[in-house]
Amino acid sequence: MAQSEAELARVKAHAREIQHVRRIVSHVLLVDSAEREALLEELRAELRRLDAEDADDETAAETEPGTGESDGSERTGDAEDAAGSPTDGSDAADGG
């Protein structure tokens, strides 16, 4: 990204002075160029599309049973379950 044509010219001139440089390929855009603005608008549109897809996916996961997605309301287990402690309400210290 270059602030001006003059800045871009200075960078290219410097690159030409570096030993063994044969060719300079510039992918630089000027800050105020129409090409940059068009590229930014394409990126913004893609982000909006992806956000809309994510919102659709979240809505589908909340409303469709059996999707494998959890909406946070289902029981997912706890540390006692993972440790193998009884989960039927009985107290292991009472013997069962």
The verdict on 10 and 22 lying in the same domain is: yes
Tokens of 50: 């992806």
- Give the DSSP letter of residue 92: G
Structure confidence by residue, pLDDT tens digits, 34-93: 999 999 999 999 999 999 998 888 887 777 666 555 555 555 555 555 555 555 555 555
Tokens of 61: 């996961």
Residue 86 lies in a domain: no
Range of the domain at 18: 1-31
Question: In which region does residue 77 sit, left (phi positive, over 0), alpha (psi from -120 to 50) or beta (all else)?
Answer: left
Structure confidence by residue, pLDDT tens digits, 8-20: 999 999 999 999 9
Q: For position 59, what pLDDT does the model report? A: 82
Read off the pLDDT band of 5 (50, 70, 90).
Answer: very high
Residue 92 lies in a domain: no
Residue 88 lies in a domain: no
Residue 89 lies in a domain: no
